[in-house]
Structure 1
Amino acid sequence: MTNPVTYTKTSPTLSLYEFVALMAMMTSLVALSIDSMLPALTQIGAALNAADDHEAHLIVSIFFVGMAFGQLFFGPFSDARGRRLTILLGLCIFAAGTVVCMLAKNMETMLLGRVIQAFGVSGPRIAAMAIIRDLYVGDAMARVMSFIMMVFILVPMLAPVVGQTVLYFFSWQHIFSLFLVVALLAGIWFFSRQPETLPRARRASFSWAQFFRSTRFIFTHMSVMGYTIAMGCIFGAFLAYLSASQTIFQEFYQTGGMFPYIFATLAFSIGLASLFNGTMVVKMGMSRLIHIALYGVIVFALVFNGILLAFDGLPPLVLTIMVMFCGFFFVGILFGNLNAMAMQPLGDIAGLGAAIIGSLSSMIAVPVALFVDSFLTDNLYPIGLGFLSFFTMAFIVVRVGDRERRQHPEKIHVEKD
């Protein structure tokens, strides 16, 4: 006999497969908006008179600035005004930003459009995760999330191929046309099939007092801050690679049309890490996996820098891919686990806390990525040194967070208005 599925106050109205596909489409708008742009960065930079490759890289990096502010807004907004209005407003803002990007005549306008895009897409992403929490609990929620993660993993692998295909037949502006089509289809599908999952009686009005109290708690809690800063360092070093990946593979290595497939191969490593982590986190625990992965990324950074020294900053392509594939596996393990560890002490402010932590880690990661990429010229030394420096920094702050967690295991936020 199968175990009964436990639901919260609101019950699902869609079949499991349709619900998973719809939520995966909502959450994957973020990855699609980032990774499908990668093959077009050089063309966009040339068309908009970018000063250099570094300015074109901002098209990727600046996206996370918009998301940082979007999470802070849409997290409380979703709890106060409901999931459907959050998704509607987010998709409208995303569409407005997409049109700005499509019509841009200079880099300043393009970057403004990307910030607006990112702010808007935070709405569907946050609301989709909240809807899952509204409808499913316990093992049922874990099952839904595992299915969504399987779909979500495919998007970073396929998005650059999609972007490259659009460029082959059309111009870079039509990548933004694709975003509009996907957003429109997602909106039509959602509003025609998915009812509101947060009734008015269960909505929580936004409180500035609670917001400032929660922010103060996070900033003064060494364990939460340790894991949050570590997330920012790990993601910042990875974002430096992500922003520069098109330059690295298409310009340094002259791979041409093979770039999307190389990028997909390396993205597959992070996907494997997510699947591995989903199985092993129950057996080994988050803390142990984090420490193993931190040692893994530091060893990867040391090996990678040694190889860079041996080949004057630009190793053979196959060797670079092999080493990065191994290193990114450990990076993939860290992404989810660091966030979960940062969330553990937040108690009843989990929703607002998630928005603050996500925003703060992004605000750390973007300057890190911009700093590392500013040194990129014609070799991979800046990427390698960025990996080593910021992975080491993440290791240090995690140790500080662990010490705080052991010394004050009872420090959990339980305040309520």
Structure 2
Amino acid sequence: MSIKTANREVSRPEFIALIAGLMALNALAIDVMLPALPHMGEALNVANENDRHYVLTAYMLGFGIAQLAFGPLSDRFGRRAPLMVGIAVYVVAAFAAVFSPNFATLLVLRFVQGMGAAGTRVIATSIVRDRFGGRAMAEVMSLVFMVFMIIPVIAPAIGQVILLTGPWEYIFLFMAGLGVVIAVWTFWRLPETLVPERRRPLKPAVILDGFRIVLSNRMAIMYGLAGTFIFGALFGFINTSQQIYVDVYELGPLFPLAFAFQASLMSVSSYTNSRIVRRLGMRRLSHGAILAFTALSGLWLLLALTVPMPLWLFMTLLCGIMFMFGWTSSNMNSLSMEPLGAVAGTASSVFGFIQTVGGAILGTITGSFFNGTVTPIAAGYFILGILAIVCVLIAENGKLFGVGEEYKDGAPAAEPH
């Protein structure tokens, strides 16, 4: 498969890499910060260790809220123009953060940076939905996530290396520079995927109707909420990962390696999903994965409450959980977008807002209970896994592993028995 621009073709591998690169800007802005949190807290006089997490939370809130605007804008003006504006805001805010005189200013700039990054999340997903549906979309999104997950694998190590060469402000210069590279690549190589006849007027009635279509679809909204709970669990771990690996398990400078190992499993999981989703279907894979995710989280919580948890046991359980996360996220995102191709931009913005803001709030709440042990994080994973299962049951009328209508390459097709 190749996608044509006005004067060139974009191959399938380049298309996947470009979409992954756009989404990776967001992952980079979160994960590259982790080793720098103590340095920023000390430099900007942040007394409470748990308050350092607001550097991540402020970004996620801006990222989530702005998605509500980028969806309708991309449905009206196409994908390219709003995307370029978003990347520009991301780059300018990252550069300005270098000169933050205090913690409050840094949080404001992080919020603005998140607002710019919102365009990459909404529009990248919309572009994929413009071209693919159902299992085909799930396959492509899995490959995108596989490439995209390289950033969480290497970002903490990049942050650590940057801190060895200079102050924490250099991290923001790195983010701004990479944003410029992605912007140039996008400008020259990304095609416009929303044809003029499918664009929706930017009128209040039309925008509200788009939101109504999204919010009134039971299956779509319930899968979107299930993804929110799973993302909230992950964000709770990201918030406290530096404290867990450094303070609890005393890994010190090896923290980025441990984080990279965990993140790499999600990349492997996404690749595995891309290889089998067309044959097994999104429902079977995501339903089995969320049950395994919750069961492993329950075992983690039980052990954390009853016995001292050594590093090898913690890593073993988290490896299984992270692998299941890779199967749940891409398939549930595709299931939530499946029936909403006509309003893909608006749908992507609604689910992006719900999952980002909701996940950030849930993750921040989970992180605030950190007490020097892994028990609060384990409890967060288990409780949020249960809530995700409830949402899936509502979406599927109380039945798991059922046969539902899925789309292959944009055309409706019944899922094989």
2:287 pairs with one of 291, 316, 324: 291
Matched residue, 2:63: 67
Matched residue, 1:182: 178
Name the CA shift for 1:304/1:359 in 2 (closer, same or farther; >3 Å). Answer: same
Counterpart of 2:389, as a letter, is F
SS in 2 for 1:403: coil
1:120 pairs with one of 116, 119, 123: 116
Matched residue, 2:344: 350
Cα deviation code 1:391-410 (max 9, x no counterpart) = 11111121122117999x89
Matches within 5 A, 1:3-402: 5=1, 12-14=8-10, 18-131=14-127, 148-194=144-190, 203-312=199-308, 315-346=309-340, 348-402=342-396
Counterpart of 1:29, as a letter, is L
Cα deviation code 1:252-300 (max 9, x no counterpart) = 2111111111001111121122112222222222222222112201211
Name the CA shift for 1:361/1:27 in 2 (closer, same or farther; >3 Å). Answer: closer
Deviation of 1:29 (Å): 0.9
Counterpart of 2:253, as a letter, is G
Deviation of 1:226 (Å): 2.1
Alpha-carbon distance between aligned partners in 2 of 1:379 and 1:358, rounded to the nearest angstrom: 31
Deviation of 1:175 (Å): 0.4
Name the CA shift for 1:139/1:292 in 2 (closer, same or farther; >3 Å). Answer: closer
5+ residue gaps, structure 2? 406-417
Counterpart of 1:162, as a letter, is I
Cα deviation code 1:275-334 (max 9, x no counterpart) = 12222222222222222112201211121012212335xx11121111100111112211
Name the CA shift for 1:405/1:212 in 2 (closer, same or farther; >3 Å). Answer: farther
Alpha-carbon distance between aligned partners in 2 of 1:387 and 1:143, rounded to the nearest angstrom: 26
Deviation of 1:342 (Å): 2.0
SS in 1 for 2:202: coil
Counterpart of 2:310, as a letter, is P
Deviation of 1:202 (Å): 5.9
Alpha-carbon distance between aligned partners in 2 of 1:398 and 1:143, rounded to the nearest angstrom: 21
8 A Cα contact 2:74 2:345, kept in partner = no
Alpha-carbon distance between aligned partners in 1 of 2:165 and 2:288, rounded to the nearest angstrom: 45
**Greater mean alpha carbon deviation, residues 180-189 or residues 327-336:** 180-189
Tell me the TM-score normalised to structure 1 length.
0.87
SS in 2 for 1:49: coil
Deviation of 1:128 (Å): 4.1
**Greater mean alpha carbon deviation, residues 229-238 or residues 171-180:** 229-238
Alpha-carbon distance between aligned partners in 1 of 2:293 and 2:142, rounded to the nearest angstrom: 25
8 A Cα contact 1:6 1:136, kept in partner = no
8 A Cα contact 1:224 1:342, kept in partner = yes
Deviation of 1:181 (Å): 1.0
Name the CA shift for 1:59/1:209 in 2 (closer, same or farther; >3 Å). Answer: same
**Greater mean alpha carbon deviation, residues 216-225 or residues 348-357:** 216-225
Alpha-carbon distance between aligned partners in 2 of 1:285 and 1:17, rounded to the nearest angstrom: 23
8 A Cα contact 1:10 1:134, kept in partner = no
Deviation of 1:53 (Å): 2.1
5+ residue gaps, structure 1? 411-417
Counterpart of 2:272, as a letter, is F
Alpha-carbon distance between aligned partners in 2 of 1:102 and 1:53, rounded to the nearest angstrom: 21
Alpha-carbon distance between aligned partners in 1 of 2:349 and 2:305, rounded to the nearest angstrom: 41
Counterpart of 1:323, as a letter, is L
8 A Cα contact 2:138 2:282, kept in partner = no
Alpha-carbon distance between aligned partners in 2 of 1:309 and 1:25, rounded to the nearest angstrom: 40
Matched residue, 2:415: none
Whose relative contact order is higher, 1 or 2, with alpha carbons under 8 Å and at least 6 apart?
A: 2
Deviation of 1:345 (Å): 3.4
Counterpart of 1:340, as a letter, is S
Tell me the TM-score normalised to structure 2 length.
0.87
Cα deviation code 1:85-111 (max 9, x no counterpart) = 223311221122213322223222121
Counterpart of 2:387, as a letter, is M
Counterpart of 2:148, as a letter, is F
Cα deviation code 1:45-89 (max 9, x no counterpart) = 121122322211122233221121222222222232233322331
SS in 2 for 1:62: helix
Deviation of 1:11 (Å): 7.8
**Greater mean alpha carbon deviation, residues 205-214 or residues 255-264:** 205-214
Deviation of 1:359 (Å): 0.9
- Give % identity: 31
Deviation of 1:186 (Å): 2.2
Matched residue, 2:408: none
Counterpart of 1:400, as a letter, is I
